[in-house]
Amino acid sequence: MTKKQAAGRAKVGITLDDVINAAFDVLAKGGLAKLSTRAIAGELGVSMNTVMWHIRTKDRLLDALANAVLEEVDLENLPEEWDEQVIELLQRLRRAMLGHRDGASLVAGTFPVASGTVAFSDRMAGALRRGCPTVRTAAWTTWNLFYFTLGLVQEEQAALTQDRERLRDFVDEGRFPGLSPALDDFMSVDFGGRFRFGIEQILSSAATTAAPEG
């Protein structure tokens, strides 16, 4: 068998996992803006039709990538206390998203009903039900914490230093007396500290405040 024939056979035998791994490679090189079927096909050395056969649509590809990120979150060996368990789960989610370029934007733009996403949500909701006054509080707090984590990691990954400097130049005490004295803290890049504080603040409220019944 010639090298060309062997390569052709390998290309025919690619799997969905191969496509997902190649998509993460493309993501690492160019971010979400450069993620395309054509780029993935080029990474694999196959035709676009071969890639499309596996993913069907780009939305399905993004769902698969987001689920793959969530599957990286270890759901075992968690602290016993419900609040520390939630904090640890979210810290692991943050690390998983930070492990991929535009990881938070990728996850934020999808809602895959798949193993990784549902298993993570199940573990979060289960922990919160132990500490929240009602099931609704636990359910809504699951979303609140998830959205908070996504938003803060998106900001962290964007690293918009230039925008921060523009904000500093724009805000003066005369026009914005509420924001100006707090500007350094408002623009803080201590993402780890802000992350822990935000989670603990939400959990403190969730433990004592029942969500309103409809």
pLDDT tens, residue by residue, 53-87 = 999 899 999 999 999 999 999 999 999 999 999 99
Check residue 32 and give its pLDDT.
94
Q: How far apart are CA 24 and CA 40, in angstroms?
A: 9
In angstroms and rounded to an integer, the radius of gyration of the C-alpha atoms of the chain is: 21
| The pLDDT of residue 161 | 65
- Give dist(CA 99, CA 69) in Å, integer: 9
Rounded distance between C-alpha atoms, residue 27 and residue 18, angstroms: 14
Q: Let me know: does 73 contact 93? Beta carbons within 8 Å.
A: yes
Question: In the chain, which stretches have pLDDT less than 50?
Answer: 1-10
Whole-number Å distance between alpha carbons of 115 and 164:
38
pLDDT score of 160: 65
Residue 88: partners with Cβ closer than 8 Å, 6 or more residues away: 78, 79
Q: Please give the Cα distance from 40 to 97 (Å, whole number).
A: 20
Task: Report if pTM > 0.75.
Answer: yes
pLDDT at 8: 42
Q: How far is CA 44 from CA 33, 121, 146, in A?
A: 19, 33, 33
